[in-house]
Structure 1
Amino acid sequence: MARTKPISAFLFIFFAIFTFSGDGESQSFSRVLSLGAKRLKREKMSHLHFYFHDILSGRNPTAIRVAEAPSTKKSPTEFGIVMMIDDLLTERPEATSKLVGKAQGFYASASQSELGLLMTLNFVFLEGKYNGSTLSMVGRNPVMEEVREMPVVGGSGIFRFARGYAHAKTHWLDPSTGDAVVEYNVYVIHY
């Protein structure tokens, strides 16, 4: 009977050492880092202003239909349509204005009662210090409202760890083709 106590104590210590790590996290795939280890100094807020060119018509559209439901054509909101985009982002509203990036992703008609889009896209910047950096936006776009707000949920490059919001305002729309130019004001907090 005296031998069971040392064996029990040994087993308890053995399992305690190998079951729990010092910080309570598994060391096999993760570890806690300080912000300084990733050279993250201080957060700042940036404001970006550009124009989004969504072109559905012509020989080289930047938005194309990739899916729809059988009932989409009968729906007044085109509920169920999915559009893939590679839209230009320019400094001014004119398509010939300086190119600052692209909006790549998709939008889908997600409402049966109003023109409400689910927007899932990356703003891919091609200009200046932002060249190669991206911002990711996911949100609801009720296109008939004058100004729409959508969340910025992340980013890469200069915008690593980004969070913020985007305001979209239709600058120009051709109702016969669906072509549009949308003004974006993006406010993003990043390191």
Structure 2
Amino acid sequence: MASVIVAAACIFLSCSASVAHGRRFVRSSSYDEPCKEMRLYLHDILYDYSNSTSNSTSAAATKPTALSTAVSNPGFFFGRMVVFNDPMTEGRALPPSLEETAVRAQGLYLLDKKEDYSAWLAFSIVFNSTAHRGTLNLMGADPNAATRDISVVGGTGDFFMSRGVATLRTDAFEGFTYFRLQMDIKLYECYVV
């Protein structure tokens, strides 16, 4: 009897929490059918001391480690951490103003492999437009592969507590200073107002 009372109390508290926020939980009935989908392009312009500081959207926060320079293949920069505040667009073109876009990716990536390019990402996509307000939080491994998946681990605002997967594809790459990622985001847990 006590376990039934505890279970009922848990259900009541979880229902009242979502009502208190004015939101209703919607979970996709199948992992083949997301409750929300979107495609965005992330534009990263790494400052490398030779390009414009006003045009750069990311910077290395660490120098290559001793291990990187001793055993890592040249160009993989094992141990480097890069902090970014990148514009995101619905199309492939760079926006006219890199600083005033309605959607931005803010976070970091760590280069984490000695013998090949590989990174670990942790960032938020920040929405500030009439279409969407809030954030999506993403993290996961970004190995050297044609496509790779990272987790959508939460969100705020219009994306309150969202969960899902973002499939990444490198859409363009110009040396070490510019890359564009195509992100196909599928949310399987959504709250709606």
Common topology (TM > 0.5): yes
Q: Which residues of 2 match residues 34-113 of structure 1 at below 5 A? A: 34=15, 35-43=18-26, 45-57=35-47, 58-59=51-52, 60=54, 61-68=56-63, 69-74=65-70, 75-76=72-73, 77-96=76-95, 99-113=101-115
Corresponding residue for residue 140 of structure 1: 141
Q: Please tell me the residue identity of whatever aligns with 2:84.
A: I
| Structure 2 stretches lacking a partner, 5+ long | 28-34
| Structure 1 stretches lacking a partner, 5+ long | 1-21, 25-30
Alpha-carbon shift at residue 43 of structure 1 (Å): 1.1
Residues 80 and 108 of structure 1 are in contact (CA less than 8 Å); yes or no, is this contact kept in structure 2? yes
Q: Please tell me the residue identity of whatever aligns with 1:93.
A: R
Where 2:142 maps in the other structure, the secondary structure is strand
Q: Tell me, in whole angstroms, the C-alpha distance in 2 between the residues paired with 1:190 and 1:72.
A: 42
Q: Tell me, in whole angstroms, the C-alpha distance in 1 between the residues paired with 2:126 and 2:20.
A: 27
Q: Please tell me the residue identity of whatever aligns with 1:95.
A: L
Q: Tell me, in whole angstroms, the C-alpha distance in 2 between the residues paired with 1:151 and 1:92.
A: 22
Q: Tell me, in whole angstroms, the C-alpha distance in 1 between the residues paired with 2:6 and 2:25.
A: 26
Q: Bigger CA drift: 52-61 or 145-154?
A: 52-61
Q: Tell me, in whole angstroms, the C-alpha distance in 1 between the residues paired with 2:69 and 2:43.
A: 24
Choose between structure 1 and 2 for higher RCO, CA contacts under 8 A separated by at least 6 residues: 2
Q: Tell me, in whole angstroms, the C-alpha distance in 2 between the residues paired with 1:156 and 1:79.
A: 33
Q: Please tell me the residue identity of whatever aligns with 2:129.
A: E
Alpha-carbon shift at residue 125 of structure 1 (Å): 1.0
Corresponding residue for residue 157 of structure 2: 157
Q: If you compute each CA radius of gyration, which structure gives the higher value, 1 or 2?
A: 1
RMSD of the alignment, in Å?
Answer: 2.3
Distance 1:86 1:71, change over 3 A: same
Distance 1:182 1:97, change over 3 A: farther
Distance 1:126 1:37, change over 3 A: closer
CA deviation profile, 1:68-95 (whole Å, cap 9, x unmatched)? 3233344222110000000010121110
Identity of aligned residues (%): 22
Alpha-carbon shift at residue 50 of structure 1 (Å): 1.1
Name the TM-score, length of structure 2 as normaliser: 0.75
Q: Please tell me the residue identity of whatever aligns with 1:136.
A: N
More strand by share: 2
Q: How many residues align?
A: 161
Q: Tell me, in whole angstroms, the C-alpha distance in 2 between the residues paired with 1:130 and 1:153.
A: 18
Alpha-carbon shift at residue 140 of structure 1 (Å): 0.3
Residues 164 and 186 of structure 2 are in contact (CA less than 8 Å); yes or no, is this contact kept in structure 1? yes
Name the TM-score, length of structure 1 as normaliser: 0.76
Corresponding residue for residue 27 of structure 1: none
Corresponding residue for residue 130 of structure 1: 132
Corresponding residue for residue 117 of structure 1: 119
